Structure 1
Amino acid sequence: MTKAPARARPKIFPPPEFPPRKLPMFARMPPAVFAVALGILGLSLALKRALAEAQLPQGLADLAMGLAVGLWLFCAVAYGIKIARRPVVVMEELRVLPGRAGLAAATVGALAVAAVLGFFLPGVARVVLTIGLVLQTVLAVLMIRALMTAPAEGRVVTPVWHLSFVGFIVGALAAVPLGWVTLASVILWATIPVAVGIWAISLWQLVQRIPPAPLRPLLAIHLAPASLFASVAGLLGMTVLAQGMLVLACAITLALLVTGRWITQGGFTPLWGAFTFPLAAFASALLINGWGVAGVLVTVFALGGVPVIAWRVLKMWPAGTLATKTNAATA
């Protein structure tokens, strides 16, 4: 009589451990959102000037300015919570290129907020401008420290350096309407040599080697300093300098347009946020310096592109995709 085969015992798996701990709110807030927040702030400033040029009601621009300031404030509070939880995340963010770009856009954004508030609350704008310049200085020092301790490949000059070391010029844009003309002049003449150095080194690097496709959108940042120099010089009455910088901005814009397919070859990434603020700054520069029709047309073009890019980047934030793609630090 054959013995019945023993029935295999069912495998008993241990009960699952506690579910993975959820990160605290804003613990991995990606600083990359500040790039598009800065772009929206710049767009609202350009829209304000474009509507004035077209002699149209300012209500839409005022609404856009309110929304732009609200977006930047929300991002600032979120990142402030992250820093309060673990302050060292700032240095960790500065180790990677998207983090550097995002934090630089954050402090430049504070200066852009001051420029927006200058239309409505000059007293508050002066306070915000002062705080923004302090934050920009602190970030520049931290950036230098991060570069000194980085490996050789991490010390390469990139367009992001404009945001970190030339971004003070946005403070000059805010300072002129507030009556701080001397401050604006000092910032203008102090930042021009820095920008020229970055342009020269970047051009030499571009001739030496082709940047990888995912990083090419950052080349658009080169447009911002020329546009801002033209705007500040125009507000200060330095006509020759303003027109010269505006011609340079037009040349950079033309180069970006001609190479647009090559620059965007890598497809959409969060680094496309680099397109937003330079385009808006170029529109404002045209309007400030009397190129009204061109300025209005560029503003209309920006209205069609900047919000789309901003939305595509911002919607990655709640799902955590943006933090992953930009290597955001965790608090």
Structure 2
Amino acid sequence: MTQPRRPMPPPLYVPKPGFGRRTPPAIFAPIMGLFGLGLGWREAAVVFGLPTAVGDMILGAVTLLFLFALVAYLAKPARRAAVLVEDMRVLPGRAGLAAASLSVMLLAASLAQIVPGFATALAICAFVLHLGLVALLVYVLRTSPPEGRVVTPVFHLSFVGFIIGGVAANALGHHDIARAILWAMLIPAGVIWGGSLRQIITRVPPAPLRPLLAIHLAPACLFTIVAHGAGLPGVAQGFAGLAIVIFAALLISLRWLTESGFSPLWGAFTFPLAAFATALLLVSDGRGVLGLGAGVVLAGATVAVPVIAYRVLKIWPGGKLAAKTNAAEA
């Protein structure tokens, strides 16, 4: 009597060959943080009289990294446009796509002093691109089940992210536009802050998603930066106070925020930390306790942001980052 054949094991997943077929949007969050770090060092050069080369070198290196990452990601929708919708349906993809368009705005801000004409065109393109991604997000939310429409800190990147256009506008000398963007973004930021606070009070966020709470710091910092650049010092100081309160709450809760260990979502720590350093530099002008705090935060960001970016990006080759963030494949 012959023995019955054992069932064959399921085939291993073999990615399709081709450049960028499964590039994860999660690569853009730490890159956005590196842009913020470069702009922070550029501001530190003004405030503390440090060499300007430090900020420029960081921004130059990050620009090359960003351009490579952008080409790698655009290879996906070039093959199959539906991957944009698929990436937008998952939280890491949603955050990453928003960070990609916002990084273009940060690139425009970094180039404003060098090539203002090109930076202006780039800022307009980035603004339109971000508007298109927000429209896509609204479509995804409308077609998602109710549990997929819950307010998350990632909403700040999409619906309040236009405030980075104010950073670029100030750098290009368009302060009226910066003020208009600032006032317009206060409402969505307030709604998201309020909705998230209510959620935290009513239920504890799962440990793997807690790093995303750091995103709540970014709008307060950006409002400070834009208001200061647009000639609204009182408004800047008010939002700097709010940023300090949020940062203190995050710092006290750091062990709780990182309870689940390192993950690609730690990219959410990078830009808010760099933006907080820049906000403190601007309102303090490098003097007093706030100036000292700004220097300490910038030094901490200089260590933390590249380390987190390296740990996230090093698992991009080979597909581990795509698998961990459930990135779509073209």
Q: TM-score, normalised by structure 1?
A: 0.93
8 Å CA contact 2:32–2:102 kept in 1: the answer is yes
Task: Note if 1:33 corresponds to 2:32.
Answer: no
Tell me what 2:302 maps to. 303
**C-alpha separation in 1, matches of 2:209 and 2:15:** 34
SS at match of 2:151: coil
CA distance in 2, matches of 1:287, 1:302: 13
Q: Partners in 1 of 2:277 and 2:215 — Cα distance?
A: 14
2:68 matches 1:69:
no
Deviation at 1:290, TM superposition (A): 2.3
Alignment counterpart, residue 45 of structure 1, candidates 21, 29, 39: 39
Query: 1:38 deviation in Å?
Result: 0.2
Give the deviation of 1:52 after TM superposition: 2.3
The 5 Å alignment of 1:203-218 reads 203-218=197-212
Structure 1 residues 243 and 76: alpha-carbon distance in aligned structure 2, compared to 1, 3 A threshold: same
State how far apart, in whole Å, the 2-side matches of 1:202 and 1:172 are: 24
1:263 equivalent in alignment to 2:262? no
- Residues 50 and 295, structure 1, Cα contact 8 Å, conserved in 2: no
Offset of 1:20 from its aligned partner? Answer: 5.2
> Taking every aligned residue pair, what percent have the same amino acid on both sides?
51
Unaligned runs of 5+ in 1: 1-7, 12-16
Q: 1:324 to 1:291 in 2, by over 3 A?
A: same
1:323 matched to 2:322: yes
1:57 aligns with 2:46: no
The answer for the alignment partner of 2:241 in structure 1 is 247
Contact 1:65 1:116 in 2 (8 A): yes
- Which of 84, 94, 101 is the equivalent residue of 1:100? 94
Q: Which amino acid aligns with 2:235?
A: L
CA distance in 2, matches of 1:197, 1:89: 29
What is aligned with 2:151? 157
- Would you say 1:286 and 2:280 are equivalent positions? yes
Q: CA separation of 1:93/1:21 partners in 2, compared to 1, >3 Å: closer, same or farther?
A: closer
Off by >6 Å, runs of 4+ in structure 1: none
Which of residues 159, 168, 182 is equivalent to 2:162?
A: 168
Question: What is the CA–CA distance in structure 1 between the aligned matches of 2:138 and 2:16, rounded to whole Å?
Answer: 34
Distance across 2 between alignment mates of 1:182 and 1:155: 34
Partner residue of 2:135?
Answer: 141
Once residues 184 and 200 of structure 2 are traced to their aligned partners in structure 1, the CA distance between those partners, rounded to angstroms, is 25
Change (3 A) 1:240 1:296: same
The 3 A distance-change label for structure 1 pair 52 and 267 is: same
Cα deviation 1:135-180 (Å, max 9, x = unaligned):
1100111111100111111100000000000000011001112122
Structure 1 residue 313 corresponds to structure 2 residue 312: yes
Deviation at 1:291, TM superposition (A): 4.8
1:275 is matched with which residue?
A: 269
Larger Rg: 1
Q: Does 1:227 pair with 2:221?
A: yes
- Residue 5 of structure 1 is matched in structure 2 by none
**How far, CA to CA, are the matches of 1:21 and 1:302 in structure 2?**
36
Q: 1:21 to 1:166 in 2, by over 3 A?
A: closer
| Corresponding position of 1:120 | 114
The worse-fitting range, judged by mean Cα deviation, of 231-240 and 261-270 is 231-240
1:132 aligns with 2:126: yes
In the aligned structure 2, how far is the partner of 1:187 from the partner of 1:129?
Answer: 13
Contact preservation (8 Å) 2:113, 2:172: no
Shift of residue 22, structure 1, vs aligned partner? 3.8
Give the equivalent residue in structure 2 for 1:82: 76
Instruction: Give deviations 1:210-243, integer Å, cap 9, x for gaps.
Output: 0000000000000000000001001111111111
1:21 is displaced (CA, Å) by: 6.6
TM-score, normalising length from structure 2?
0.93
278-287 vs 54-63, greater mean Cα deviation: 54-63
Cα separation, 1, equivalents of 2:201 and 2:312: 31
Counterpart contact for 1:173–1:232, Cα < 8 Å: yes
1:14 paired residue number: none
Give me the whole-angstrom Cα distance separating, in 2, the residues matched to 1:96 and 1:72.
22
Q: 1:196 corresponds to which letter in structure 2?
A: G
Tell me what 2:173 maps to: 179
